[in-house]
Amino acid sequence: MHGISYARVADLREALAEGADPDSRFLAGGTTEVDMLRIGVAQEKRLVDINDLPLNQIEELPGGGLRLGALARMSDVAAAPVVRERFPMVAQALELGASAQLRNMASMGGNMMQRVRCAYFRETAMPCNKREPGSGCAAEGGFHRGHAVLGTSESCFATHPSDVAVPLVALDAVIHLSSANRTADGSANRTADGSANRTADGSANRTADGSANGSANRNANGSANRNANGIANGAAHGTRSMPLEDFFLLPGDTPEREHPIEHGELITAIEVPAAPVARRSLYLKVRDRESYEFALVSAAVAAAVENGMITDIRLALGGVATKPWRARTAERHLMGGPATREAFEAAAAAEMAQAVGRPQNAFKIELAKRTIVRVLERVCVRGSGS
């Protein structure tokens, strides 16, 4: 493992200035980041510890929504009465993830940024397009039982691992970001041709020794320049937000790019809009063992049923896709129709018609259909999760 320097920041502007350094990476609970550094997949030379930032609140919003701070711990969000009451499937997804110890450390922002569990991504001796673009995909001819069947490409078919992202996507959650290099209107500072500021050879501006210019200006000791208040100088920052669904990118030809964010952009919060329908919701996780295991298939559903007809439906899948998968095809089939097993089976079949199975993971297609039917029956017919 290479040498790493460490900075603990207590102020947002300071965090953004430190985070803008191309060699740095944010550290929250460390349950993903430290592993990545240990196994040599992450190469950062500087960790910016953000745990002192005031971003751990769980706030109620007017109208019934919630704002979850990026540093709120998974265990705290799962235990919050307001989450359990208004969005039971969010609390359930959190409690079914990782282990109690991990959930006490792991943050909501870090959860959105966790890396795939593909064994070849984590084994630096093997080819992996996500870790090393253009090197190939060892999973294609190798072990891929847990891999995705939806949203895949020839470059990569690793499964997105987060549990809680699944109900959050079903609920149209919005993610909030801050960065040092954004203008007040929230757009990245760009040249007239729309590209990020770069030198003629296309590389980020760098000094002769290869360090970045104009981001985190450093003095001879390597620490960011600060004023008397300890706030980084010149760190004007902007904010933007986007639907959480858009925060996760399909692999396509660029599997190395998992999120549409710039280096140094900080997740500050995840907002869950009011959704009375979510009071009757369920997260079902199917896995090889009952605890401490990632999903083979999972489904989050919230539904309203009146006189046997579905009047509102939110459905998303985990464990089967390269991103948390909003099952819009199934939603369209179900909305306004009868809450019957036949309708659930037709919707599940329609959603999974687009799935592409490979030798070891094709079983997930049938498993996903059965999981969708099971979760719909429990919520729409038996009323679980209400």
Binding site for ligand SF4 (CB under 6 A): 116, 118, 120-121, 128-130, 137-139, 156-158, 255
Select the binding partner of residue 138 from ligand SF4, ligand FAD, none (C-beta < 5 to 8 A, by kind): ligand SF4
Select the binding partner of residue 167 from ligand FAD, ligand SF4, none (C-beta < 5 to 8 A, by kind): none
The yes or no reply on residue 77 touching ligand FAD (CB under 6 A) is no
By C-beta, is 294 or 344 nearer to ligand FAD? 294
Q: 310, 323, 320, 186: which is closest to 241 by C-alpha?
A: 186
Task: Restricting to residues 286-325, name those near ligand FAD by CB under 6 A.
Answer: 294
Q: Applying CB under 6 A, which part among 80-88, 162-170, 179-187, 203-211 lies near ligand FAD?
A: 162-170
Select the binding partner of residue 238 from ligand SF4, ligand FAD, none (C-beta < 5 to 8 A, by kind): none
Q: State the Cα–Cα distance between residues 254 and 69, nearest whole angstrom.
A: 30
Contact pick of 13, 16, 25, 303 for ligand FAD (by CB under 6 A)? 25
By C-beta, is 147 or 280 nearer to ligand SF4? 147
The yes or no reply on residue 284 touching ligand FAD (CB under 6 A) is no
Q: Applying CB under 6 A, which part among 25-33, 180-188, 236-244, 356-364 lies near ligand FAD?
A: 25-33
**Chain residues that interact with ligand FAD, rule: CB under 6 A:** 25-33, 70, 97-98, 102, 105-107, 109-111, 113-114, 161-164, 266-267, 294
